[in-house]
Amino acid sequence: MDLLNTLVDKGLRRELPTRDEALAVLATSDDELLDVVAAAGKVRRHWFGRRVKLNYLVNLKSGLCPEDCSYCSQRLGADTGILKYTWLKPDEASKAAAAGLAGGAKRVCLVASGRGPTDRDVDRVSDTIKTIKEENEGVEVCACLGLLSDGQAERLRGAGADAYNHNLNTSEATYGDITKTHTYADRVDTVQKAHAAGLSACSGLISGMGETDKDLVDVVFALRQLDADSVPVNFLIPFEGTPLAKEWNLTPQRCLRILAMVRFVCPDIEVRIAGGRELHLRTLQPLALHLANSIFLGDYLTSEGQAGKADLEMIADAGFEVETTDQVTLPEHRRGGGCGSVCGSEESANSACGSKEAEVPAAEAEVPEARTDLVAVRRRGAGTDLAPNA
């Protein structure tokens, strides 16, 4: 396929594809799927070898959120039956993190529901970061606390945080259909604040919310222009009790095409398979490791994930290896923030990825049957007396 040969060549040179090319990846047929995976896999292996980075989520504060994000089980007024608790103490959070680190995780992601942290919340999380760092040599810590106010990113960096996560989630054009209580611009501003403070910017998307192919391409190109170091790709978990509970739009094949498109647009960036991989990729999860170089280990914020032991077995069986704390995730040219002039500048963004595109019709597929049996609310780990899944 000429398209795939072109995309591999561009990926190896860190040259952005055009939007037309990205749309064409999403429009490939199931018959072409293995060719797409093989092509994107060449780019993934060139920059990241066969390493898989493991990340572990600790939900510091569950539920109780005033925001109205339609996809979220913790949203204002949601009746989802999730765990609800206020802030974990630093020692409790460190104990929860230790379980994931013992399972092979290299990065701990500290997440708290809410619009954004107060200064007192930043102090609390800073104490937690220091505790985790003191007790676990070589661990990376990423904070995810919502919208940041001026100076808060710098304080988190001073406490030892390595990264800050704040996802764009969907395209700017459709963001208002998903959330009303804050804007797309608010999210962009927080990612920029984190970047300016010297934190590694982590920002991604959620697919499966009824978006078009163009929406997916738009948000991934926006993430590339923001120069995020890691891009988590979430697949919607349609929780009962949320406005998107009936959105079952993804197939395993569709998920693989989305991951391949992200890899081609972000060839040298950490692409992480995040929430919903077990739900939507199902038995094709090992194929996704040929596209992404990072996954979450064990459970998610409010839902259960695959058993940590099964994650490790899957990685080994697929011929990959777990990245260790003495290995650096990003290629050398991206370390210390940014990818340089080749792929991060305004000029390259405009010339390589800003061309006028035509909407490529997606391949027709049957709407998948809703697998509500696979959505399991987390009842163990952080905020409970039960052992975590790691």
- Annotated catalytic sites, by residue? 65, 69, 72, 109, 142, 202, 272
3-class secondary structure for 311-361?
HHHHHHHCCCEECCCCCCCCCHHHCCCCCCHHHHCHHHHHHHHCCCCCCCC
CA distance 27 to 362: 4
**HSE value, Cβ hemisphere, 13 Å, CA-based, for 73:** 21
- Residue 296, Cβ density class (10 Å: 0-12 exposed, 13-18 middle, ≥19 buried): buried
Q: List the structure tokens of 363.
A: 């391949």
| Spatial contact of 323 and 54, defined as CB atoms under 8 Å apart | yes
CB 277 within 8 A of CB 285: yes
How far is it, in rounded angstroms, from Cα 145 to Cα 93?
15
Directed axis angle between helix 19-26 and helix 213-226, to 10°? 130
d(CA 26, CA 20): 10
Q: How many residues does the chain have?
A: 390
CA distance from start to end of the chain = 41
Helix pair angle (119-135, 90-102), 10° resolution: 40
For residues 126 and 119, give the distance between their C-alpha atoms in angstroms, rounded to a whole number: 10
Helix (H) or strand (E) holding 144: strand 140-144
Please report how the helices 2-12 and 33-48 are oriented relative to each other, as an axis angle in degrees rounded to 10: 10
Long-range contacts of 24-27 (CB under 8 A, 24+ apart): 24/360, 25/257, 25/260, 25/261, 25/264, 26/213, 26/216, 26/217, 26/257, 26/258, 26/261, 26/360, 26/362, 27/213, 27/360, 27/361, 27/362, 27/363
CA distance 389 to 56: 10
Q: Which residues are annotated as a binding site for [4Fe-4S] cluster?
A: 65, 69, 72
